[in-house]
Homo-oligomer: A and B are copies of this chain.
Amino acid sequence: MDMNDMILVSVDDHLCEPPHMFDEHLPAKWQDEAPKQIRTEDGNDVWTFNGAVIPNVGLNAVAGRPKEEYGMEPTSFEEMRPGCFDVHERIKDMNAGGVLGSMCFPSFPGFAGRLFAAHPDKDFARALIQAYNDWHIDEWCGAHPGRFIPMGLPMIWSAEETAAEIRRLADKGCHSITFTENPVPLGEPSWHDEYWNPMLEALVECDTVLSIHLGSSGQLVVTAPDAPMDVMIQMQPMNISTAAADLLWSTIPRRYPDIKIALSEGGTGWVPYFMDRADKTYSMHHLWTGQEFGDLLPSEVFRRNFLTCFITDPVGIILRHEIGIDNLTWEMDYPHSDSNWPTAPEELHAHFEGVSDEDIDKITHLNAMEWYSYDPFSVLPREECTVGALRDAAGDHDVSVRSMDTGRHAGAEKVSLQDFATRQSE
C-alpha cells in the first residue's frame, strides 16, 4: 500500500484543556469553585483546583519542538503548539500529520479524572466530570464531526455512578470511557471484587470500551531514587502488562464475555510472550490455584476482550497474527514526547513492508472503528480521509520543528525518577 493511501486513526492522543472550558457546562452554583487557569508569577499557565496547582508539564506538550527542549518544566501557552489546546489548530496538525481520527485523553484531571474524583463533595465532582464530558463531546469532538472518537471521564468513586454516566454518554454517541488500570491505589475495590459489576454491565450494554491508559492509577515504577528518567520512559508502556494480567485473571472477562478493554499506550511487541506465559501459567497451575477458563485458554480470552495499540513497534507488526490481527490499533500520542507527529505516516509505513493491505487497514483504522463504534465515513467521504488527501487539505500549514524557547528556562530540566514520581503524586 502506498503511504498516501493509508487511513490513520489514533486511539491515544492528549489534549491540554483550554481556559473557559467549564464556563458553559458547569451549573452556575459551582462556577466559583471550578478549576481555573491562571498565569503564575513565573510565567507558567497552570490549572488551580481545590488548593492544588497543576502545571502543563513540558513533556506532555512538546509536539513540534526540538528534542533538546523536552523536559519537565511547567509551560506557558506560548511554549506549546496551539494544536495542544485549540481544536481547530489540532485539526490542522492532524491533517498535516495525515491523521483522520483521534481519541484524546485528558491532561490536568489525570488520565482517568482522579483529580476531580478526589474532591470530597461528590455532587460537585459529578457535576465537574459531566461538564468535562459535555465539553469534550460537544465542543472538542463536536467542532469537527467524524474527526474524533469521543471519550468520557468516569466517577471513579462509584461503580453505580460510573454506570449511569456510561449510559448518559452512550446516548450522546460516546462509546469509550477512560479508567484507571488499577483501582486499588486510588482506594477503591480491586478488579477481583464484584463491586464493579454495575459498571461492567453498563459497558457491555452500551458497547463501550474501558480505555485504561498507562499511568492512570498514578503509580509509577521507581527502581531507585537516583534512577534516570529513561528507565521509566522505557518501561511505562510494558508496565501496563501487569494491569492486563490482573484483569485477565480476574473473572471479569469470563463473566462479561462481550467486555472491551483497551490497553492504551501499552505497546504490542510483548503481547505474544504475555499470552504464551498466561497459557503456560494456566496449564501448570490451575489445578491448584482453582482457575477455570472452560473451553478457552487465557490467550483466547485475552484476544476476545483486549485491544492493544502501538506508536511504533516493529516487533508488534512482525507478530501481528500471534497478537491477533483484529486486536491491534495505532496511536500517535500527540502532543506528548513519544509522539512521532508530523512524520508518523512515514515511520509507520516503513514498518509495513510485506504487510498485506487488509492487515494494514485493520491496524491503521478498521479495528479502531470496530472496537470504538466510530464511523467517520458516514460523515466524510473515504477518499478525503487518506494520508495523502489530508495532507493536501493541510496546504502550507507549518509543521517544521521549531524552538518555542521563550528564554524562561536555562535548558531542559534534568530530574530523577524519584523527583518525577513525587511531583506526580502531589
Contact = CB atoms under 8 A, between A and B. Distances in A.
A234 B278 contact: yes
Q: How many copies make up the complex? A: 2
Given A67-B287, A282-B230, A315 B273 contact: yes
Interface in A183-238: 184, 190-193, 221, 223-231, 233-235, 237-238
A58 to B, nearest CB: 9
A67 B288 contact: yes
A276 B351 CA distance: 13
Given A190-B223, A223-B182, A289 B235 contact: no
Given A70-B287, A272-B269, A230 B249 contact: yes
Contact of A273 (B193, B316, B412): B316
Contact of A238 (B190, B224, B225, B241): B241
B68 A287 contact: yes
Most B C-beta atoms less than 10 A away, residue of A223, A228, A278, A286: A223
A354 to B, nearest CB: 16
A230 B272 contact: no
Q: How large is the interface on A (under 10, 10 to 19, 20 to 34, 35 or more residues)?
A: 35 or more
A67 B284 contact: yes
A192 B233 contact: no
Contact of A284 (B71, B224, B284, B338): B338
Contacts of A224: 182, 184, 190-192, 246
Contact of A235 (B231, B242, B286): B242
B238 A223 contact: no
Nearest to A182: B223
B281 A190 contact: no
A224 B189 CA distance: 9
Nearest to A291: B230
A277 interface: yes
A40 to B, nearest CB: 22
A285 B242 contact: no
13 contacts: A184-B223, A221-B242, A228-B291, A229-B289, A230-B286, A231-B245, A233-B289, A234-B249, A235-B242, A238-B277, A284-B338, A288-B414, A290-B414
